[in-house]
């Protein structure tokens, strides 16, 4: 019978330090991820003042959002490959420095084309971040803790939208619209310094032992891509994540218009209902992640979240009273918010630490495709039919997601 040696005091001290330090690592990851969303969503609330000052048309103003997205989707997979190859810190620091230059530079433009290029550059830097943040979650957090970690990370998009829409007009009121982008650039620079000084690769926390480490071979680009594409469970969950973004972006894009145009609600009433969709998602992500991590029932909770989203979206299209629409919006937002955290969390339980970067890159890339395709599909439905078709098109998302989750197999210990 093998004897079990007790941990020495020095080993216990190391374990305790790692347990505490990983939450600071999570803060650095969230701050890095947040910078891209602040840069992306600072532009829309400033359009009413920036466009006249620059002499842009509204088409050109819209192209600045498209420019960011073009860059953002392009670096999802390369960012993960570079993270696996060189580590998360170099990729994060490089992305933040580029973000600082691109966002800050937007505060000095006077013509359309330089700004367009800066927006593309800003998107390129932000697009590489999700994959390395995914790797941080896998490397630093045990499965029991990782659900909550993913919950905080995936609440970041909602936080970025909220901060951009509240702080950008405030800063513009005291200074001007250019100062907003200069401050975003300065914040990105500050975060890059913190990441450079304090970010570590960390232990490969595949078990609940906070001090566990793993020796990893240096992975190759092609072999990593083959690993992800050949993993049945990861690909099923990636398709489910695509379906979730399909429902989320579609509902966010058309919910406001439906409430005002089809149901005749006031601008304030419609805005309040759709704001509730974002706020409940901000709360649902960490709570869903915490529950999944503690219970070990991530797949079950993910299935329930898909059902909640399906019911909320479909019934929303047939609701008439403001109170009922609010409840259905909260239900849909609760389901979507949980899925935002849980698709990343559950996928991470199937990913080997050395391939975590490319896993996050591939999943992030596929997720973003949904954001590009769903406005087109639903817009065509409105042009050729009615709003009734939109909710069925969006409901296809949680239906597909539920099927994908049910087809996955439990992760190996």
Give residue-wise pLDDT tens across range 28-60. 999 999 999 888 888 877 878 888 888 888 778
- Cα separation, 344 vs 92, whole angstroms: 19
Q: pLDDT class for 272, splitting at 50, 70, 90?
A: confident
Burial class (CB in 10 A: 0-12, 13-18, 19+), 55: exposed
Q: pLDDT class for 412, splitting at 50, 70, 90?
A: low
Q: pLDDT class for 17, splitting at 50, 70, 90?
A: low
Half-sphere exposure of 316 (CA within 13 A, CB side): 34
pLDDT of residue 413: 54
Q: What is the mean pLDDT of residues 195-219?
A: 59
pLDDT of residue 175: 83
Q: What is the mean pLDDT of residues 128-145?
A: 91
- Cα separation, 18 vs 86, whole angstroms: 22
pLDDT of residue 388: 80
pLDDT over 50 at 9, yes or no? no
pLDDT of residue 99: 96
pLDDT over 60 at 8, yes or no? no
pLDDT over 80 at 200, yes or no? yes
Q: pLDDT class for 211, splitting at 50, 70, 90?
A: very low
Q: pLDDT class for 100, splitting at 50, 70, 90?
A: very high
Q: What is the pLDDT of residues 312-335, one digit of tens each?
A: 999 988 877 778 889 998 999 999
Burial class (CB in 10 A: 0-12, 13-18, 19+), 222: exposed
Q: For the ranges 19-28, 231-240, 250-259, 281-290, which has the lowest average pLDDT? A: 250-259
pLDDT over 90 at 249, yes or no? no
Q: What is the mean pLDDT of residues 136-157?
A: 89
Q: What is the mean pLDDT of residues 115-143?
A: 92
Mark 91-115 as b/e (b = at least 16 C-beta within 10 Å): bbbbbbbbbbbbbbbbbebeebeeb
- Cα separation, 60 vs 71, whole angstroms: 17
Question: Are 361 and 84 within 8 A, CB to CB?
Answer: no
- Cα separation, 53 vs 30, whole angstroms: 34
């Amino acid at each position: 019978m093998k004897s079990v040696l007790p941990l020495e005091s020095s080993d216990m001290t190391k374990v305790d330090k790692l347990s505490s330090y990983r939450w600071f690592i999570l803060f650095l990851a969230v701050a890095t991820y947040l910078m891209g969303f602040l840069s992306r969503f600072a532009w829309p609330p400033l359009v009413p003042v920036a466009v006249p000052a620059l002499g842009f048309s509204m088409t050109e103003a819209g192209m600045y959002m498209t420019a960011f997205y073009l860059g953002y989707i392009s670096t999802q997979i390369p960012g993960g490959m570079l993270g696996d190859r060189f580590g998360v810190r170099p990729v994060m620091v490089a992305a933040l420095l580029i973000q600082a230059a691109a966002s800050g530079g937007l505060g000095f433009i006077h013509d359309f084309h330089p700004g367009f290029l800066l927006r593309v550059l800003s998107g390129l830097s932000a697009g590489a971040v999700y994959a390395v943040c995914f790797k941080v979650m896998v490397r630093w957090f045990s499965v029991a803790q990782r659900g909550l970690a993913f919950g905080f990370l995936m609440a970041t998009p909602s936080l970025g939208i909220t901060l951009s829409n509240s702080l950008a007009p405030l800063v513009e009121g005291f200074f001007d619209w250019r100062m907003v982008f200069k401050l975003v650039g300065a914040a990105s620079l500050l975060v890059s310094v913190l990441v450079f000084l304090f970010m570590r690769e960390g232990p490969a926390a595949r078990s609940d032992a906070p001090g566990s480490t793993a020796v990893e071979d240096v992975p190759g680009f092609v072999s990593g891509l083959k690993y992800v594409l050949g993993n049945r469970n990861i690909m099923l969950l990636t398709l489910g994540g695509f379906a979730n973004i399909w429902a989320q972006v579609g509902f966010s894009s058309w919910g406001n218009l439906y409430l005002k145009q089809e149901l005749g609600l006031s601008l304030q009433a419609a805005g309040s209902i759709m704001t509730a969709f974002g706020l409940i998602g901000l709360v649902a992500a960490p709570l869903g992640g915490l529950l999944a991590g503690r219970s070990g029932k991530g797949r079950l909770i993910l299935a329930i979240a898909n059902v909640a989203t399906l019911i909320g979206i479909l019934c929303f299209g047939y609701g008439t009273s403001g109170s009922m629409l609010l409840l259905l919006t909260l239900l849909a937002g609760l389901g979507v918010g949980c899925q935002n955290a849980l698709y990343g969390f559950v996928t991470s339980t199937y990913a080997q630490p050395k391939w975590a970067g490319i896993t996050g890159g591939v999943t992030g890339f596929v997720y973003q495709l949904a954001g590009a395709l769903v406005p087109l599909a639903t817009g065509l439905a409105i042009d050729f039919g009615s709003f009734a078709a939109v909710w069925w098109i969006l409901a296809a998302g949680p239906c597909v997601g539920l099927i994908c989750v049910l087809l996955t197999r439990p992760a190996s210990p």
